[in-house]
Structure 1
Amino acid sequence: MTTSERDTITARLAAGVVEYRLDGEGQQVVVVFHGGHMRAGLALGEEVFTTSGYRMLAPSRPGYGRTPLATGTTPAAFADVTADLCRTLGIGRVAAVVGISAGGRTALAMAARHPHLVDRVILQSAVGFAPWPDRRTRLAGRLVFNSGVEAATWAAVRLLMRTAPQAGLRLLLRDLSTLPVRQVMAALSEHDQAELLALFGLMRSGRGFLNDMLAVPDCAGQVTQPALVIATRTDRSVPFTHAQSLAATIPRAELVASQADGHMIWFGPDYPAIVGKIKDFLATG
Protein backbone atom coordinates (compact mmCIF):
# COMPACT_ATOMS: atom_id res chain seq x y z
CA MET A 1 0.00 0.00 0.00
CA THR A 2 1.55 3.29 -1.10
CA THR A 3 -0.36 6.49 -0.40
CA SER A 4 -0.10 9.35 -2.88
CA GLU A 5 -2.37 11.65 -4.87
CA ARG A 6 -3.41 9.92 -8.10
CA ASP A 7 -4.61 11.39 -11.37
CA THR A 8 -8.36 11.72 -11.87
CA ILE A 9 -10.64 12.90 -14.64
CA THR A 10 -14.13 14.37 -14.70
CA ALA A 11 -17.25 13.46 -16.63
CA ARG A 12 -20.18 15.77 -17.26
CA LEU A 13 -23.38 13.76 -16.88
CA ALA A 14 -27.02 14.75 -16.90
CA ALA A 15 -26.95 15.21 -13.10
CA GLY A 16 -23.71 17.18 -13.08
CA VAL A 17 -19.94 16.80 -12.95
CA VAL A 18 -18.36 13.67 -11.44
CA GLU A 19 -14.69 13.21 -10.67
CA TYR A 20 -13.44 9.65 -10.96
CA ARG A 21 -10.44 7.39 -11.34
CA LEU A 22 -10.37 4.17 -13.37
CA ASP A 23 -7.44 1.85 -12.62
CA GLY A 24 -6.49 -1.64 -13.70
CA GLU A 25 -6.67 -3.65 -16.89
CA GLY A 26 -9.19 -6.41 -16.15
CA GLN A 27 -12.45 -7.14 -17.90
CA GLN A 28 -14.53 -7.04 -14.72
CA VAL A 29 -15.07 -3.82 -12.78
CA VAL A 30 -15.34 -3.07 -9.08
CA VAL A 31 -16.81 0.28 -8.00
CA VAL A 32 -15.35 1.69 -4.79
CA PHE A 33 -17.11 4.38 -2.76
CA HIS A 34 -14.52 5.75 -0.36
CA GLY A 35 -15.40 7.16 3.02
CA GLY A 36 -15.40 10.55 4.66
CA HIS A 37 -12.59 13.01 3.94
CA MET A 38 -11.57 10.91 0.90
CA ARG A 39 -11.83 11.57 -2.83
CA ALA A 40 -11.12 9.73 -6.07
CA GLY A 41 -7.46 10.74 -6.07
CA LEU A 42 -6.77 8.87 -2.83
CA ALA A 43 -6.57 5.09 -2.59
CA LEU A 44 -7.21 2.84 0.38
CA GLY A 45 -7.47 -0.94 0.30
CA GLU A 46 -7.72 -1.13 -3.49
CA GLU A 47 -4.84 -3.52 -4.16
CA VAL A 48 -6.99 -6.55 -3.42
CA PHE A 49 -9.02 -5.68 -6.52
CA THR A 50 -6.41 -4.37 -8.96
CA THR A 51 -3.95 -7.20 -8.23
CA SER A 52 -6.72 -9.75 -8.73
CA GLY A 53 -7.39 -8.66 -12.30
CA TYR A 54 -10.26 -6.21 -11.77
CA ARG A 55 -10.59 -2.71 -13.07
CA MET A 56 -11.36 -0.34 -10.22
CA LEU A 57 -13.69 2.64 -10.63
CA ALA A 58 -13.57 5.17 -7.79
CA PRO A 59 -15.80 8.25 -8.04
CA SER A 60 -15.52 11.19 -5.66
CA ARG A 61 -18.78 11.28 -3.77
CA PRO A 62 -20.73 14.57 -3.72
CA GLY A 63 -18.94 17.37 -1.94
CA TYR A 64 -15.52 15.69 -2.21
CA GLY A 65 -12.78 16.51 -4.69
CA ARG A 66 -14.14 17.86 -7.96
CA THR A 67 -17.63 16.37 -7.58
CA PRO A 68 -19.95 19.21 -6.53
CA LEU A 69 -22.40 18.57 -3.73
CA ALA A 70 -25.22 19.24 -6.20
CA THR A 71 -24.31 16.10 -8.18
CA GLY A 72 -26.55 13.83 -6.14
CA THR A 73 -26.81 15.02 -2.55
CA THR A 74 -28.19 11.71 -1.22
CA PRO A 75 -26.75 8.19 -1.45
CA ALA A 76 -29.69 7.15 -3.64
CA ALA A 77 -29.19 10.06 -6.02
CA PHE A 78 -25.45 9.48 -6.32
CA ALA A 79 -26.02 5.76 -6.82
CA ASP A 80 -28.05 6.71 -9.90
CA VAL A 81 -25.29 9.08 -11.00
CA THR A 82 -22.71 6.32 -10.67
CA ALA A 83 -24.88 3.94 -12.68
CA ASP A 84 -25.03 6.62 -15.37
CA LEU A 85 -21.24 6.98 -15.18
CA CYS A 86 -20.90 3.23 -15.71
CA ARG A 87 -23.11 3.43 -18.81
CA THR A 88 -21.07 6.36 -20.10
CA LEU A 89 -17.85 4.38 -19.65
CA GLY A 90 -19.32 1.31 -21.34
CA ILE A 91 -19.49 -0.72 -18.12
CA GLY A 92 -22.47 -3.07 -18.37
CA ARG A 93 -21.83 -5.15 -15.24
CA VAL A 94 -20.16 -4.43 -11.92
CA ALA A 95 -18.59 -7.40 -10.14
CA ALA A 96 -19.02 -5.63 -6.80
CA VAL A 97 -19.75 -2.30 -5.24
CA VAL A 98 -17.51 -1.57 -2.28
CA GLY A 99 -18.66 0.79 0.44
CA ILE A 100 -15.98 2.04 2.81
CA SER A 101 -17.00 3.85 6.00
CA ALA A 102 -19.35 6.73 5.04
CA GLY A 103 -19.44 5.38 1.48
CA GLY A 104 -21.33 2.33 2.68
CA ARG A 105 -24.76 3.85 2.26
CA THR A 106 -24.05 4.76 -1.36
CA ALA A 107 -22.85 1.23 -2.13
CA LEU A 108 -26.02 -0.19 -0.59
CA ALA A 109 -28.20 2.25 -2.50
CA MET A 110 -26.52 1.36 -5.79
CA ALA A 111 -27.02 -2.37 -5.16
CA ALA A 112 -30.67 -1.85 -4.16
CA ARG A 113 -31.54 0.51 -7.01
CA HIS A 114 -29.54 -1.16 -9.80
CA PRO A 115 -29.63 -4.93 -9.21
CA HIS A 116 -29.26 -5.55 -12.95
CA LEU A 117 -25.88 -3.80 -12.83
CA VAL A 118 -24.38 -4.92 -9.50
CA ASP A 119 -23.43 -8.54 -8.74
CA ARG A 120 -22.12 -8.28 -5.16
CA VAL A 121 -21.63 -5.90 -2.24
CA ILE A 122 -18.56 -5.52 -0.02
CA LEU A 123 -18.79 -3.29 3.03
CA GLN A 124 -15.69 -2.28 4.99
CA SER A 125 -16.06 -0.43 8.32
CA ALA A 126 -19.23 0.84 6.71
CA VAL A 127 -21.81 3.26 8.03
CA GLY A 128 -25.22 1.62 7.96
CA PHE A 129 -28.60 3.05 8.85
CA ALA A 130 -28.36 3.09 12.62
CA PRO A 131 -27.92 6.59 14.09
CA TRP A 132 -24.56 8.02 13.04
CA PRO A 133 -22.42 9.76 14.04
CA ASP A 134 -22.64 10.17 17.80
CA ARG A 135 -23.61 13.54 19.22
CA ARG A 136 -20.04 14.53 20.06
CA THR A 137 -18.78 13.79 16.54
CA ARG A 138 -21.75 15.55 14.98
CA LEU A 139 -21.16 18.72 16.98
CA ALA A 140 -17.41 18.64 16.41
CA GLY A 141 -17.89 17.97 12.70
CA ARG A 142 -20.13 20.97 12.28
CA LEU A 143 -17.55 23.08 14.08
CA VAL A 144 -14.33 22.04 12.36
CA PHE A 145 -15.50 20.78 8.95
CA ASN A 146 -17.95 23.47 7.89
CA SER A 147 -17.10 25.22 4.64
CA GLY A 148 -15.75 28.30 6.40
CA VAL A 149 -13.00 26.52 8.35
CA GLU A 150 -12.55 23.10 6.71
CA ALA A 151 -9.47 24.16 4.74
CA ALA A 152 -7.85 25.64 7.86
CA THR A 153 -8.65 22.49 9.85
CA TRP A 154 -6.83 20.26 7.40
CA ALA A 155 -3.97 22.74 7.06
CA ALA A 156 -3.50 22.48 10.82
CA VAL A 157 -3.60 18.67 10.60
CA ARG A 158 -0.92 18.67 7.89
CA LEU A 159 1.25 21.01 9.94
CA LEU A 160 0.93 18.77 12.97
CA MET A 161 1.76 15.69 10.90
CA ARG A 162 4.94 17.35 9.66
CA THR A 163 6.13 18.86 12.93
CA ALA A 164 4.94 16.28 15.49
CA PRO A 165 3.90 13.17 13.59
CA GLN A 166 3.54 10.90 16.62
CA ALA A 167 1.31 13.41 18.40
CA GLY A 168 -0.69 13.88 15.21
CA LEU A 169 -1.28 10.17 14.77
CA ARG A 170 -2.31 9.76 18.40
CA LEU A 171 -4.78 12.62 18.05
CA LEU A 172 -6.49 11.14 14.99
CA LEU A 173 -6.35 7.48 15.99
CA ARG A 174 -7.96 8.26 19.33
CA ASP A 175 -11.28 8.84 17.54
CA LEU A 176 -10.96 5.67 15.45
CA SER A 177 -10.54 3.05 18.17
CA THR A 178 -12.14 2.10 21.46
CA LEU A 179 -8.75 0.83 22.67
CA PRO A 180 -6.14 3.01 24.43
CA VAL A 181 -4.32 4.99 21.75
CA ARG A 182 -0.96 3.85 23.15
CA GLN A 183 -1.93 0.25 22.42
CA VAL A 184 -3.09 1.14 18.90
CA MET A 185 0.14 2.96 18.13
CA ALA A 186 2.30 0.15 19.50
CA ALA A 187 0.63 -2.36 17.17
CA LEU A 188 1.44 -0.30 14.05
CA SER A 189 4.71 -0.87 12.22
CA GLU A 190 6.81 2.10 11.15
CA HIS A 191 5.64 1.49 7.59
CA ASP A 192 1.99 1.51 8.60
CA GLN A 193 2.46 4.67 10.63
CA ALA A 194 4.08 6.34 7.61
CA GLU A 195 1.18 5.23 5.39
CA LEU A 196 -1.37 6.66 7.81
CA LEU A 197 0.55 9.91 8.12
CA ALA A 198 0.60 10.25 4.34
CA LEU A 199 -3.09 9.42 4.03
CA PHE A 200 -4.23 11.81 6.78
CA GLY A 201 -2.02 14.50 5.29
CA LEU A 202 -3.86 14.31 1.96
CA MET A 203 -7.43 14.25 3.26
CA ARG A 204 -9.98 17.02 2.81
CA SER A 205 -13.63 17.21 3.80
CA GLY A 206 -14.98 19.71 1.30
CA ARG A 207 -18.73 19.95 1.75
CA GLY A 208 -19.03 16.18 1.72
CA PHE A 209 -18.55 15.23 5.35
CA LEU A 210 -21.35 17.40 6.72
CA ASN A 211 -23.59 15.93 4.02
CA ASP A 212 -22.54 12.41 5.07
CA MET A 213 -23.89 13.05 8.57
CA LEU A 214 -27.47 13.54 7.37
CA ALA A 215 -29.93 10.71 8.01
CA VAL A 216 -31.14 8.79 4.95
CA PRO A 217 -33.80 6.08 4.35
CA ASP A 218 -32.77 2.51 5.12
CA CYS A 219 -32.47 0.42 1.96
CA ALA A 220 -30.50 -2.53 3.36
CA GLY A 221 -33.46 -4.89 3.20
CA GLN A 222 -33.77 -4.20 -0.53
CA VAL A 223 -30.26 -5.48 -1.29
CA THR A 224 -30.73 -8.89 -2.88
CA GLN A 225 -27.12 -9.55 -3.90
CA PRO A 226 -24.62 -11.50 -1.76
CA ALA A 227 -22.92 -9.13 0.67
CA LEU A 228 -19.70 -9.34 2.66
CA VAL A 229 -19.79 -7.12 5.75
CA ILE A 230 -16.35 -6.54 7.28
CA ALA A 231 -15.90 -4.60 10.51
CA THR A 232 -14.14 -4.65 13.86
CA ARG A 233 -15.58 -4.53 17.35
CA THR A 234 -13.00 -1.90 18.34
CA ASP A 235 -14.18 0.74 15.85
CA ARG A 236 -15.07 3.97 17.63
CA SER A 237 -15.85 5.90 14.43
CA VAL A 238 -18.47 3.45 13.13
CA PRO A 239 -19.65 1.14 15.94
CA PHE A 240 -19.76 -2.60 15.27
CA THR A 241 -23.52 -2.46 15.75
CA HIS A 242 -23.76 -0.97 12.24
CA ALA A 243 -22.18 -4.09 10.75
CA GLN A 244 -24.35 -6.35 12.88
CA SER A 245 -27.51 -4.54 11.81
CA LEU A 246 -26.55 -4.65 8.14
CA ALA A 247 -25.68 -8.34 8.29
CA ALA A 248 -28.99 -9.08 9.98
CA THR A 249 -31.03 -7.03 7.49
CA ILE A 250 -29.41 -7.86 4.14
CA PRO A 251 -30.89 -11.25 3.20
CA ARG A 252 -27.67 -12.79 1.80
CA ALA A 253 -25.06 -11.16 4.02
CA GLU A 254 -22.05 -12.66 5.75
CA LEU A 255 -20.42 -10.83 8.67
CA VAL A 256 -16.64 -10.97 9.05
CA ALA A 257 -15.20 -9.64 12.31
CA SER A 258 -11.79 -8.07 11.75
CA GLN A 259 -9.15 -8.22 14.48
CA ALA A 260 -7.98 -4.67 13.69
CA ASP A 261 -7.51 -2.24 16.56
CA GLY A 262 -9.96 0.24 15.09
CA HIS A 263 -11.64 1.69 12.03
CA MET A 264 -8.64 1.21 9.71
CA ILE A 265 -9.06 -2.52 9.13
CA TRP A 266 -6.45 -2.47 6.33
CA PHE A 267 -3.76 -2.15 9.01
CA GLY A 268 -5.02 -5.00 11.18
CA PRO A 269 -2.99 -8.18 11.84
CA ASP A 270 -5.53 -10.36 10.05
CA TYR A 271 -5.89 -8.21 6.94
CA PRO A 272 -4.12 -10.81 4.72
CA ALA A 273 -6.82 -13.30 5.75
CA ILE A 274 -9.51 -10.73 4.97
CA VAL A 275 -7.94 -10.20 1.53
CA GLY A 276 -8.28 -13.94 0.96
CA LYS A 277 -11.89 -13.79 2.08
CA ILE A 278 -12.62 -10.95 -0.35
CA LYS A 279 -10.99 -12.80 -3.24
CA ASP A 280 -12.97 -15.96 -2.50
CA PHE A 281 -16.17 -13.93 -2.26
CA LEU A 282 -15.56 -12.31 -5.65
CA ALA A 283 -14.71 -15.63 -7.25
CA THR A 284 -17.90 -17.32 -6.09
CA GLY A 285 -20.22 -18.02 -9.00
Structure 2
Amino acid sequence: MTALWSTRTGPHDAPVVLLVHGGGVGAWMWRDQVAALRDRYLVITPDLPGHDHGADVPFTSADDAVAALAGLLRPVADGREITVVGFSFGAQLAVSLAARHPGLVSRVVVVSALTEPMPLTGPSLGLVRLTAPLGGHRWFARLQARSMFVPDDLFDDYLRTVRSVSTADLVALLSANGAFRIPAAWSDYPGPALLLAGDREPRALVRGMQALHQALPSAELEIVPGAGHGLPLQRPGWFTERLLGWLAREPGVPR
Protein backbone atom coordinates (compact mmCIF):
# COMPACT_ATOMS: atom_id res chain seq x y z
CA MET A 1 0.00 0.00 0.00
CA THR A 2 1.21 3.51 -0.85
CA ALA A 3 2.52 5.46 2.12
CA LEU A 4 1.56 9.15 1.99
CA TRP A 5 3.78 12.02 3.04
CA SER A 6 1.91 14.05 5.65
CA THR A 7 2.27 16.56 8.45
CA ARG A 8 0.57 16.38 11.86
CA THR A 9 -0.02 19.23 14.24
CA GLY A 10 -2.12 19.64 17.36
CA PRO A 11 -2.72 17.61 20.55
CA HIS A 12 -1.92 13.97 19.87
CA ASP A 13 -5.01 12.75 21.77
CA ALA A 14 -7.49 15.26 20.29
CA PRO A 15 -10.22 14.57 17.69
CA VAL A 16 -8.70 14.19 14.22
CA VAL A 17 -9.26 16.36 11.15
CA LEU A 18 -7.81 15.04 7.89
CA LEU A 19 -7.52 17.71 5.16
CA VAL A 20 -7.24 16.36 1.60
CA HIS A 21 -6.12 18.81 -1.08
CA GLY A 22 -7.23 18.98 -4.70
CA GLY A 23 -5.34 18.17 -7.88
CA GLY A 24 -2.46 20.49 -8.77
CA VAL A 25 -2.09 21.91 -5.27
CA GLY A 26 -0.74 20.47 -2.02
CA ALA A 27 -1.17 20.28 1.72
CA TRP A 28 -0.07 23.92 1.88
CA MET A 29 -3.52 25.01 0.57
CA TRP A 30 -4.92 24.35 4.08
CA ARG A 31 -2.57 26.81 5.84
CA ASP A 32 -5.33 29.00 7.27
CA GLN A 33 -7.47 26.05 8.36
CA VAL A 34 -4.55 24.31 10.06
CA ALA A 35 -3.76 27.47 12.01
CA ALA A 36 -7.37 27.69 13.21
CA LEU A 37 -7.81 23.99 14.00
CA ARG A 38 -4.55 22.93 15.61
CA ASP A 39 -5.32 24.13 19.13
CA ARG A 40 -8.33 21.80 19.43
CA TYR A 41 -7.72 19.06 16.86
CA LEU A 42 -4.99 16.76 15.66
CA VAL A 43 -4.73 18.00 12.07
CA ILE A 44 -3.31 15.68 9.40
CA THR A 45 -2.43 17.13 5.99
CA PRO A 46 -1.11 14.69 3.37
CA ASP A 47 0.35 15.38 -0.05
CA LEU A 48 -1.33 13.08 -2.54
CA PRO A 49 0.78 10.84 -4.81
CA GLY A 50 2.50 12.81 -7.54
CA HIS A 51 2.18 16.13 -5.70
CA ASP A 52 4.82 18.27 -3.99
CA HIS A 53 6.42 16.23 -1.17
CA GLY A 54 4.64 13.13 -2.54
CA ALA A 55 6.01 13.60 -6.06
CA ASP A 56 8.28 10.57 -5.82
CA VAL A 57 5.20 8.33 -5.45
CA PRO A 58 3.39 8.02 -8.81
CA PHE A 59 -0.35 8.57 -8.96
CA THR A 60 -1.86 5.22 -9.97
CA SER A 61 -5.60 5.43 -9.29
CA ALA A 62 -8.23 6.98 -7.06
CA ASP A 63 -8.77 3.58 -5.43
CA ASP A 64 -5.11 3.43 -4.42
CA ALA A 65 -5.27 6.99 -3.07
CA VAL A 66 -8.35 6.13 -0.98
CA ALA A 67 -6.60 3.05 0.38
CA ALA A 68 -3.57 5.18 1.27
CA LEU A 69 -5.76 7.71 3.11
CA ALA A 70 -7.43 4.89 5.03
CA GLY A 71 -3.98 3.62 5.96
CA LEU A 72 -3.11 7.08 7.26
CA LEU A 73 -6.18 7.09 9.52
CA ARG A 74 -6.03 3.57 10.95
CA PRO A 75 -3.20 4.28 13.42
CA VAL A 76 -5.28 7.09 14.99
CA ALA A 77 -8.63 5.27 14.83
CA ASP A 78 -8.75 4.53 18.54
CA GLY A 79 -12.36 5.46 19.20
CA ARG A 80 -11.97 9.20 18.75
CA GLU A 81 -13.86 11.31 16.24
CA ILE A 82 -12.28 11.60 12.79
CA THR A 83 -13.42 14.25 10.32
CA VAL A 84 -12.33 14.11 6.68
CA VAL A 85 -12.38 17.35 4.66
CA GLY A 86 -11.73 17.17 0.93
CA PHE A 87 -11.54 19.78 -1.83
CA SER A 88 -12.15 19.10 -5.55
CA PHE A 89 -10.35 15.83 -6.38
CA GLY A 90 -9.70 15.46 -2.66
CA ALA A 91 -13.46 15.80 -2.15
CA GLN A 92 -14.05 12.84 -4.47
CA LEU A 93 -11.57 10.87 -2.38
CA ALA A 94 -13.34 11.99 0.80
CA VAL A 95 -16.69 10.71 -0.52
CA SER A 96 -15.16 7.36 -1.46
CA LEU A 97 -13.32 7.10 1.86
CA ALA A 98 -16.50 7.76 3.85
CA ALA A 99 -18.53 5.34 1.73
CA ARG A 100 -16.00 2.51 1.91
CA HIS A 101 -14.74 3.03 5.46
CA PRO A 102 -17.58 4.50 7.54
CA GLY A 103 -15.98 3.03 10.63
CA LEU A 104 -12.97 5.30 10.10
CA VAL A 105 -14.79 8.48 9.07
CA SER A 106 -17.01 10.00 11.77
CA ARG A 107 -17.84 13.11 9.72
CA VAL A 108 -17.11 14.25 6.19
CA VAL A 109 -16.93 17.65 4.51
CA VAL A 110 -17.14 17.58 0.72
CA VAL A 111 -16.08 20.80 -1.03
CA SER A 112 -16.65 21.12 -4.78
CA ALA A 113 -16.60 17.51 -5.91
CA LEU A 114 -17.30 16.76 -9.57
CA THR A 115 -19.65 13.77 -9.62
CA GLU A 116 -20.99 13.80 -13.17
CA PRO A 117 -18.86 11.54 -15.38
CA MET A 118 -16.71 13.56 -17.76
CA PRO A 119 -14.18 11.11 -19.26
CA LEU A 120 -11.35 12.75 -21.16
CA THR A 121 -11.16 11.84 -24.82
CA GLY A 122 -7.97 10.92 -26.63
CA PRO A 123 -7.58 14.41 -28.18
CA SER A 124 -8.21 16.04 -24.78
CA LEU A 125 -5.53 13.91 -23.15
CA GLY A 126 -3.19 14.72 -26.01
CA LEU A 127 -3.72 18.44 -25.42
CA VAL A 128 -2.99 18.00 -21.72
CA ARG A 129 0.26 16.23 -22.56
CA LEU A 130 1.26 19.02 -24.96
CA THR A 131 0.45 21.90 -22.62
CA ALA A 132 1.56 20.35 -19.31
CA PRO A 133 5.15 21.69 -19.60
CA LEU A 134 3.78 25.25 -19.64
CA GLY A 135 2.71 24.83 -16.02
CA GLY A 136 6.33 25.02 -14.92
CA HIS A 137 6.80 28.49 -16.37
CA ARG A 138 6.31 31.22 -13.81
CA TRP A 139 4.15 33.43 -16.06
CA PHE A 140 1.79 30.60 -16.97
CA ALA A 141 1.65 29.30 -13.40
CA ARG A 142 0.77 32.82 -12.25
CA LEU A 143 -2.28 32.81 -14.53
CA GLN A 144 -3.33 29.37 -13.29
CA ALA A 145 -2.81 30.37 -9.66
CA ARG A 146 -5.08 33.39 -10.06
CA SER A 147 -7.82 31.25 -11.61
CA MET A 148 -7.58 28.93 -8.61
CA PHE A 149 -7.60 31.78 -6.05
CA VAL A 150 -4.11 30.97 -4.79
CA PRO A 151 -2.98 34.03 -2.78
CA ASP A 152 0.29 35.71 -3.70
CA ASP A 153 2.02 34.59 -0.50
CA LEU A 154 1.35 30.95 -1.42
CA PHE A 155 2.39 31.28 -5.07
CA ASP A 156 5.87 29.83 -4.52
CA ASP A 157 4.27 26.75 -2.94
CA TYR A 158 1.93 26.47 -5.91
CA LEU A 159 4.78 26.83 -8.43
CA ARG A 160 6.85 24.21 -6.60
CA THR A 161 3.88 21.83 -6.64
CA VAL A 162 3.05 22.38 -10.31
CA ARG A 163 6.66 21.69 -11.22
CA SER A 164 6.57 18.50 -9.15
CA VAL A 165 3.60 16.93 -10.97
CA SER A 166 4.70 14.82 -13.95
CA THR A 167 2.70 14.78 -17.16
CA ALA A 168 1.88 11.10 -16.60
CA ASP A 169 0.56 11.81 -13.10
CA LEU A 170 -1.45 14.80 -14.35
CA VAL A 171 -3.11 12.77 -17.11
CA ALA A 172 -3.87 9.88 -14.72
CA LEU A 173 -5.38 12.22 -12.13
CA LEU A 174 -7.51 14.12 -14.65
CA SER A 175 -8.79 10.84 -16.03
CA ALA A 176 -9.71 9.64 -12.53
CA ASN A 177 -11.35 12.97 -11.74
CA GLY A 178 -13.53 12.90 -14.85
CA ALA A 179 -14.55 9.28 -14.36
CA PHE A 180 -15.72 9.64 -10.75
CA ARG A 181 -19.23 8.50 -9.89
CA ILE A 182 -21.10 8.62 -6.62
CA PRO A 183 -20.47 5.31 -4.82
CA ALA A 184 -23.60 3.27 -4.12
CA ALA A 185 -22.51 2.98 -0.48
CA TRP A 186 -22.61 6.77 -0.09
CA SER A 187 -26.37 6.52 0.50
CA ASP A 188 -25.67 4.37 3.57
CA TYR A 189 -23.07 6.64 5.15
CA PRO A 190 -24.23 7.05 8.78
CA GLY A 191 -22.27 10.11 9.88
CA PRO A 192 -22.87 13.84 9.50
CA ALA A 193 -21.91 15.26 6.10
CA LEU A 194 -21.46 18.86 4.97
CA LEU A 195 -21.53 19.59 1.23
CA LEU A 196 -20.20 22.97 0.02
CA ALA A 197 -19.86 24.50 -3.44
CA GLY A 198 -19.88 27.93 -5.06
CA ASP A 199 -22.71 29.03 -7.30
CA ARG A 200 -20.17 30.23 -9.90
CA GLU A 201 -18.66 26.79 -10.34
CA PRO A 202 -19.41 24.80 -13.51
CA ARG A 203 -23.07 23.81 -13.69
CA ALA A 204 -22.16 20.15 -13.96
CA LEU A 205 -20.30 20.36 -10.65
CA VAL A 206 -23.18 22.09 -8.86
CA ARG A 207 -25.62 19.49 -10.25
CA GLY A 208 -23.32 16.76 -9.02
CA MET A 209 -23.17 18.22 -5.53
CA GLN A 210 -26.96 18.33 -5.52
CA ALA A 211 -26.95 14.68 -6.60
CA LEU A 212 -24.71 13.88 -3.62
CA HIS A 213 -27.31 15.50 -1.39
CA GLN A 214 -30.16 13.62 -3.05
CA ALA A 215 -28.31 10.35 -2.48
CA LEU A 216 -27.73 11.24 1.20
CA PRO A 217 -30.60 13.54 2.30
CA SER A 218 -29.27 13.71 5.86
CA ALA A 219 -26.30 15.69 4.53
CA GLU A 220 -26.26 19.49 4.76
CA LEU A 221 -25.84 21.22 1.37
CA GLU A 222 -24.85 24.85 0.93
CA ILE A 223 -24.29 26.55 -2.43
CA VAL A 224 -22.38 29.72 -1.65
CA PRO A 225 -23.40 32.83 -3.64
CA GLY A 226 -20.66 34.46 -5.67
CA ALA A 227 -18.05 31.77 -4.96
CA GLY A 228 -16.08 29.91 -7.60
CA HIS A 229 -14.08 26.69 -7.59
CA GLY A 230 -11.78 27.27 -4.64
CA LEU A 231 -13.74 28.07 -1.48
CA PRO A 232 -10.93 27.32 1.02
CA LEU A 233 -8.57 29.66 -0.88
CA GLN A 234 -11.03 32.20 -2.27
CA ARG A 235 -12.82 32.78 1.04
CA PRO A 236 -10.51 31.35 3.70
CA GLY A 237 -12.05 33.29 6.59
CA TRP A 238 -15.61 32.33 5.71
CA PHE A 239 -14.68 28.73 5.03
CA THR A 240 -12.71 28.34 8.25
CA GLU A 241 -15.51 29.76 10.38
CA ARG A 242 -18.06 27.56 8.60
CA LEU A 243 -15.94 24.50 9.24
CA LEU A 244 -15.25 25.37 12.90
CA GLY A 245 -18.93 26.02 13.56
CA TRP A 246 -19.97 22.76 11.96
CA LEU A 247 -17.35 20.77 13.87
CA ALA A 248 -18.46 22.32 17.16
CA ARG A 249 -22.00 21.04 16.78
CA GLU A 250 -23.05 17.76 18.29
CA PRO A 251 -23.70 15.07 15.62
CA GLY A 252 -27.30 15.16 14.47
CA VAL A 253 -27.96 18.74 15.65
CA PRO A 254 -29.54 20.73 12.81
CA ARG A 255 -28.03 23.97 11.57
State TM-score, norm by structure 1: 0.69
Aligned counterpart, 2:253: none
Residue 218, structure 1, aligned to residue 207, structure 2: no
Equivalent-residue separation in structure 2 for 1:17 and 1:125 (angstroms): 26
CA RMSD in angstroms comes to: 3.2
- Listed as ranges, the matches of 1:31-110 within 5 Å are 31-40=18-27, 43-47=30-34, 50-51=37-38, 53-64=40-51, 65-66=53-54, 68-69=57-58, 73-88=60-75, 90-92=76-78, 93-110=80-97
Residue 155, structure 1, aligned to residue 123, structure 2: no
**Corresponding residue to 1:250 among 205, 216, 227:** 216
Deviates more, 1:135-144 or 1:32-41: 135-144
Equivalent-residue separation in structure 1 for 2:146 and 2:204 (angstroms): 13
Amino acid at match of 2:230: M
Aligned counterpart, 1:131: 117
Amino acid at match of 2:155: L
Aligned counterpart, 2:159: 201
Distance of aligned partners of 1:132 and 1:33 in 2 relative to their CA distance in 1, 3 Å threshold: farther
How far does the alpha carbon of each residue in 1:1-37 deviate from its partner, in whole angstroms, 9 at most, with x for none? xxxxxxxxxxxxxx13321111223611111111001
How far does the alpha carbon of each residue in 1:176-220 deviate from its partner, in whole angstroms, 9 at most, with x for none? 5xxxxxxxxxxx9xxx75246345323323344322222245313
Report the 3-state secondary structure (helix = DSSP H, G, I; strand = E; otherwise coil) of the residue aligned with 1:16. coil
Aligned counterpart, 1:179: none
Instruction: Give the C-alpha shift of residue 101 in structure 1.
Output: 0.8
Equivalent-residue separation in structure 1 for 2:126 and 2:198 (angstroms): 25
Instruction: Give the C-alpha shift of residue 257 in structure 1.
Output: 1.6
Report the 3-state secondary structure (helix = DSSP H, G, I; strand = E; otherwise coil) of the residue aligned with 2:24. coil
How far does the alpha carbon of each residue in 1:149-174 deviate from its partner, in whole angstroms, 9 at most, with x for none? 4xxx3321x2556xxxxxx34x6545
Aligned residue pairs, count? 237
Equivalent-residue separation in structure 1 for 2:125 and 2:200 (angstroms): 20
Amino acid at match of 1:69: P
Q: Which sections of structure 1, spanning at least 5 residues, go unmatched?
A: 1-14, 162-167, 177-187
Report the 3-state secondary structure (helix = DSSP H, G, I; strand = E; otherwise coil) of the residue aligned with 1:255. strand
Equivalent-residue separation in structure 1 for 2:19 and 2:68 (angstroms): 14
> Which structure shows the higher helix fraction?
2
Distance of aligned partners of 1:212 and 1:76 in 2 relative to their CA distance in 1, 3 Å threshold: same
State TM-score, norm by structure 2: 0.76
Contact residue 88 and residue 112 of structure 2 kept, 8 A: yes
Distance of aligned partners of 1:106 and 1:140 in 2 relative to their CA distance in 1, 3 Å threshold: same
Report the 3-state secondary structure (helix = DSSP H, G, I; strand = E; otherwise coil) of the residue aligned with 2:63. helix
Aligned counterpart, 1:185: none
Q: Which sections of structure 2, spanning at least 5 residues, go unmatched?
A: 251-255
- Listed as ranges, the matches of 1:225-240 within 5 Å are 225-236=191-202, 239-240=205-206
Aligned counterpart, 2:6: 20
Distance of aligned partners of 1:233 and 1:32 in 2 relative to their CA distance in 1, 3 Å threshold: same
Contact residue 30 and residue 49 of structure 1 kept, 8 A: no
Distance of aligned partners of 1:52 and 1:42 in 2 relative to their CA distance in 1, 3 Å threshold: same
Contact residue 25 and residue 158 of structure 2 kept, 8 A: no
Aligned counterpart, 2:244: 279
Report the 3-state secondary structure (helix = DSSP H, G, I; strand = E; otherwise coil) of the residue aligned with 2:4. strand
Aligned counterpart, 2:207: 241
Instruction: Give the C-alpha shift of residue 114 in structure 1.
Output: 1.3
Contact residue 21 and residue 41 of structure 1 kept, 8 A: no
Report the 3-state secondary structure (helix = DSSP H, G, I; strand = E; otherwise coil) of the residue aligned with 1:79. helix
Amino acid at match of 1:221: S
